[in-house]
Each structure stands twice: as C-alpha cells, then as structure tokens.
Amino acid sequence: MQIRHAISARLDGEDPGLDEAAVYSHLAGCTDCRGFAHDAEALHRTVRLAPAPVIPDLTPGILAAIGEERHAPADANQALRWILVAIAVAIAGLLVATHRPCPATAVAAPCFAVAA
C-alpha cells in the first residue's frame, strides 16, 4: 500500500515518502503494483492532456437581462419610494400627535401616551 501511495504522490508532484530506488525495485517484482502504476500514469496523462470542454459565451445574454432589469422596473421603484415616504410621514405624525410632556421628573426623556 505504501508503494501505491508513493506512486500517486509522485504523479501529483508531492514527496513520495519512499526512496525512488525502493519503489522501482518493488515495481520490478510486483505485477499488481506495476499495473497500478501503469493505470495511474495513463489516467494522469489523459486528464492532463484532455481538451477543455467548449462553453458557450453567455455574457451578451446576461448583460442584456441586467440592462432590462435596471430600466424596466424604474416606475415600480419610484412608486415604492413614495409609498415608503408616505409611511414615514404617517409614523412621524403619529409620534408628534401622541407626544405629551412628562411630569417634572429627573428624567429628561419625552413621554408618549399609551393607548388603553
């Protein structure tokens, strides 16, 4: 098992952890490990030399979709802003309307009427 790890590590560019002469000596006498080394090297070579798959360029479609999103809902965004402003004004009006001065206490915070 150490020989197979050493073969794999060597293919990955890592330290095999064993003397290279010991690995080759073992491979000379062990058909199973020699077969593993052959298969691993073939797989390694195939993966390294495989062409990259063709990927379509999606940039124009994405940019077009982003451009449409930016311009299309502008009216909806404007309406939402005005609704939020109206809500903020209503809340501010409620706060002002329900504000009542606190009785003379040491606390300088305003008091608010509590609805019963």
pLDDT in tens, 38-57: 999 998 888 877 677 889 99
What's the whole-number mean pLDDT along residues 12-19? Answer: 87
Give the sign of the dihedral formed by CA 51, CA 53, CA 57, CA 58: negative
Q: Is residue 99 over pLDDT 80?
A: no
Are 9 and 45 members of one domain?
Answer: yes
Q: Which of 49, 65, 84 is the C-terminal boundary of a domain?
A: 49
Looking at residue 45, its pLDDT comes to 84
Q: Inform me whether the pLDDT recorded for 72 exceeds 90.
A: no
Distances (CA, A) of 93 to 33, 69, 86, 88: 84, 35, 10, 9
Tell whether 81 and 116 lie within a shared domain. yes
Same domain? 80 vs 43: no
Given a cut of 90, whether residue 19 has pLDDT beyond it is no
In a domain, 55, yes or no: no
What SS3 state is found at 82? Answer: helix
Same domain? For 78 and 112 the reply is yes
Q: Would 62 be classed as within a structural domain?
A: no
| Residue 61 falls inside a structural domain | no
Q: DSSP state, 13?
A: T
Q: What is the DSSP letter of 111?
A: E
Containing structural domain, residue 106? 74-116
Confidence (pLDDT) at 64: 83
Count: domains in the chain: 2
In this predicted structure, the answer to whether residue 79 has a pLDDT above a threshold of 90 is no
Buried b (16+ CB within 10 A) or exposed e, 81-93: eeeeeeeeeeeee
Mean pLDDT of the chain: 81
